Structure 1
Amino acid sequence: MNTRANTAVIGAGVIGLLTAWQLRLTGHDVTVIAPSIAQDASYAAAGMLAPISEVQYGQDDLWPIMTASRSEYPQFLSTLSRATSVPTGYRENGTLLIAADRSDRDAVAELAVLQREHGMEVSALTSSTLRRREPGLAPGLSKGWDVPSDHQIDPRQLVAATRAALEADLDPRQFPGAGAPARWNTATVTSVEEAPDEQEAPGQRFILTTDDGAAHPFHSVLLVPGLGYSEIAGLPETCPLELRPIHGDVLRLQVNAAQLMRGESHVLDATVRAKVNGRSVYLVPRADGGLVIGASSREDSLAGTHAGSVQELLTDAVAVLPGVKDMELTEITTRARPGTPDERPFLGELRPGLVVSTGYSRHGILLAPLAARLGAALVKPALLGPASSDPTPELSAEDQQLLSRMRLTRHRD
């Protein structure tokens, strides 16, 4: 008997695409439905894989899932690289925490203490060591700390690699039981309903309606629509989620060749996360000489780029890395991220075979492998027949503990 599930993934950001890939690996025939591919929050993201550097007070539930997801990246990327030669943009270049002045130093030092108390590897650097490590940094910076295990990935390259893997003809010897190449539907889902009569579409549990009026039957559905969740009628309306747009302005620059000495490819090696006059700024160097600058976070009515945020980002970046002012500014991107009341994402069942995964805020790229694996595991019970009363029968005790730290583990009517 053919038990392969015909599964829809609604949304094509990084988490949606990685989840589609995970579903394909576990035997689903996947259709990705979205108006565009990774053009929203994923397009702007800098891609810091930084469970240590991103620790904040009062987010105890987030730390374990951030750390767990970071540890899954190497295996995930290894599997992806067996399916495609498209580079993933992963770099193990470490992270430096920088304090610009004395007040910034006290704030970062207190956070470093908290990080070490949770067993995280954070070590203070002397001024001379910091200068040797990154000679391009501004002289007179107050203090620096080394976080060697926080790395980065280029989300745009990760999207390209995952899309290539989804479309590839996989070798059954390397990927036994994998589903067919993904199908793509460039549309917006407007409604998700339970199929009114299974006799009309045997085995199809859900009917998706798209903005062209077409109806599409599927065995199972994974909702990864970001902020678009509230715009989908039908079953999602039975479980409203507290999502709000958090806007961020991100700058992309390119190093000028005149700034480099012979043999150099960049003026910065490690990713830098700094405090400058109490404000946060990050600088993420790309292997091709690019530099991503960000950290602005706004909850206002302006969907477009905020001029003051751009000014502050450039001012603070130059205060940390003076060479920024001689680079070419190539792109300014503004996107809204789906925020939740406490930054914990929503991941869980709405119905057997219908799973929602959204609300990853500024941690979406970091949490993507874990979100994809857990989301796919929650969909899996719909594959072979009536779902078990256990909402996560395929998950280990450790995975169920991680899932319990999300804001939604199972819908209750």
Structure 2
Amino acid sequence: MTLYTDRTVAPGERLKPPAELRPDNAGAAPTPPAQADVAVIGAGVIGLSIAWRLAGRGLSVAVFDRAEAGSGTSYAATGMLAAAAEHEPGGEELLALTLDSQRQWLDFRTSLEADANATIDYRDEGTLVVALGRDEVERLRFHHEQQRRAGLNTSWLNGMEVRRIEPGLRASVAAGISCPDDHQVDPRRVVPALASAFVRRGGFLIQGHPVTSLDMTGGRVSGVLTPTRLCRARTVIAATGAWSNDGVLPPTLDIPMRPLKGQALALRTNRQTGAPRHVIWTEQIHLAPKGDGQLIVGSTMEDAGFNPAITAGGVLALLEGVHRALPSSEEMEIEAVWSGFRPTTDDDAPIIGESGIPGLLLATGHHRNGILLAPVTATAIEQLIMDAATSGAASQFGLARFQRDSTTMAQIAGARR
């Protein structure tokens, strides 16, 4: 592989969207409004999706981000919509949520591209989960059996069938699972498209402008405070991801959240190297080919706090993983290496809905599924604000579930004493 070309960004710097799509060209508001119906903290894919939908319902919405839209976690993401590939034992409730959101993505994409007048590189070739050696086949069969029991649309492939679909994979590939409904998008196009669509609907996007605290009136959240002014709002939505416990929200609000670090890299494919058509999952990595010729390789899973360092071990794991799967990667240029932080709750599932504090809603903790879960999260919050209730799978993912679990454990402990 080749490092440092005229397209290479500095190690640790993430890929950026095309210049013509960047959010700072989207007509962002320079200063906060004095008042809005809804204030959203966090301009990642979750916060912007919610804001765009609410603005479409005729509400005045202001979105605040301490940096550039998407710069927290969204631009570090791969963009997989992988409800089937991600399914794990015991995750039936989460699967219902991811499938609901996956079904919403087609309409979400159509509306977003129309509102933004931009494409988001939605690719529907599907996903292949592969066993690169015979020693991995039994584990892959177990995974497929779990998918089959859950009623997912997947099929088993032998090694020859996998190679027929993706001839660039290593010849030793032994088996695979085809997940045709697991599509992908490019986050570096989705975020600026959301920002543009939101502003076109009359929204206020305030970047580089942190929320320092919440305004409280009579025990109710009534707005957000920034370094320059107070923005009053009937409803405040915290879409703050891995930074949900950074001191902005009330200290009485116990959000069981931690950052899980991931390192990833981007390779440049060309006519000689070729590129896979599908998203490829192995036991070590995943590969996501983008429409512009980039191949995203991700991603490590590290419990390292907010340490953004690019490490030799992380990069080595990624390079070994892609070389083991795709021999032609030896000739691909390395264009970028970066890290990000997944907002991860105690059960790896999101928190969507009431906070227990009047006027404050939560939309956070999406772990590695923020892109996938954007439509269903936006729908749920929209329902809460417009109809005062959430229906469907999202109704099971409120903050109260952790409080119920804590109460149950305390009762069990008390019974044992």
Does residue 14 of structure 1 match 2:45? yes
**Is the CA contact (8 Å cut-off) linking 2:43 and 2:69 kept in structure 1?**
yes
Paired amino acid for 2:234 = H
* TM-score normalised by length of structure 2: 0.83
Paired amino acid for 1:134 = E
- Structure 1 residue 119: deviation in Å? 0.5
User: Distance between the aligned counterparts of 1:31 and 1:57, measured in 2?
Assistant: 39
* TM-score normalised by length of structure 1: 0.84
- Structure 1 residue 71: deviation in Å? 0.4
- Tell me the residue number matched to 2:59: 28
User: Distance between the aligned counterparts of 2:339 and 2:234, measured in 1?
Assistant: 36
SS at match of 1:335: strand
| Unaligned segments of structure 2, at least 5 residues | 1-34, 405-417
> CA 1:156–1:80 in structure 2 vs 1: closer, same or farther (change >3 Å)?
same
- Tell me the residue number matched to 1:298: 302
> CA 1:408–1:13 in structure 2 vs 1: closer, same or farther (change >3 Å)?
farther
> CA 1:359–1:342 in structure 2 vs 1: closer, same or farther (change >3 Å)?
same
**Is the CA contact (8 Å cut-off) linking 2:214 and 2:223 kept in structure 1?**
yes
Does residue 288 of structure 1 match 2:322? no
User: Distance between the aligned counterparts of 1:105 and 1:139, measured in 2?
Assistant: 15
Does residue 274 of structure 1 match 2:282? yes
- Structure 1 residue 5: deviation in Å? 5.7
Tell me the C-alpha RMSD between the 2 structures.
Answer: 2.2
SS at match of 1:105: helix
> CA 1:406–1:143 in structure 2 vs 1: closer, same or farther (change >3 Å)?
farther
Identity of aligned residues (%): 31
- Structure 1 residue 306: deviation in Å? 2.4
Superposed, 1:40-51 pairs within 5 Å as 40-51=72-83
- Tell me the residue number matched to 1:200: none
**Is the CA contact (8 Å cut-off) linking 2:377 and 2:394 kept in structure 1?**
no
Paired amino acid for 2:62 = T
**Is the CA contact (8 Å cut-off) linking 2:221 and 2:360 kept in structure 1?**
no
- Tell me the residue number matched to 1:374: 380
- Structure 1 residue 406: deviation in Å? 4.3
**Is the CA contact (8 Å cut-off) linking 1:192 and 1:232 kept in structure 2?**
no
User: Distance between the aligned counterparts of 1:88 and 1:411, measured in 2?
Assistant: 38
User: Distance between the aligned counterparts of 2:212 and 2:139, measured in 1?
Assistant: 46
Does residue 71 of structure 1 match 2:71? no
**Is the CA contact (8 Å cut-off) linking 2:41 and 2:240 kept in structure 1?**
yes
Paired amino acid for 2:103 = S
- Tell me the residue number matched to 1:216: 231
> CA 1:183–1:298 in structure 2 vs 1: closer, same or farther (change >3 Å)?
closer
- Structure 1 residue 18: deviation in Å? 0.5
- Structure 1 residue 146: deviation in Å? 1.1
SS at match of 1:297: coil
Paired amino acid for 1:16 = G
- Tell me the residue number matched to 2:203: 181
User: Distance between the aligned counterparts of 1:405 and 1:240, measured in 2?
Assistant: 15
SS at match of 1:186: coil
- Structure 1 residue 16: deviation in Å? 0.7
| Unaligned segments of structure 1, at least 5 residues | 171-179, 198-203, 260-265, 382-391
Superposed, 1:2-401 pairs within 5 Å as 6-35=37-66, 36-168=68-200, 180-195=202-217, 206-210=222-226, 212=227, 214-233=229-248, 236-259=250-273, 266-275=274-283, 280-301=284-305, 302-350=307-355, 351-380=357-386, 392-393=388-389, 395-396=390-391, 399=392, 401=393
**Is the CA contact (8 Å cut-off) linking 1:348 and 1:409 kept in structure 2?**
no
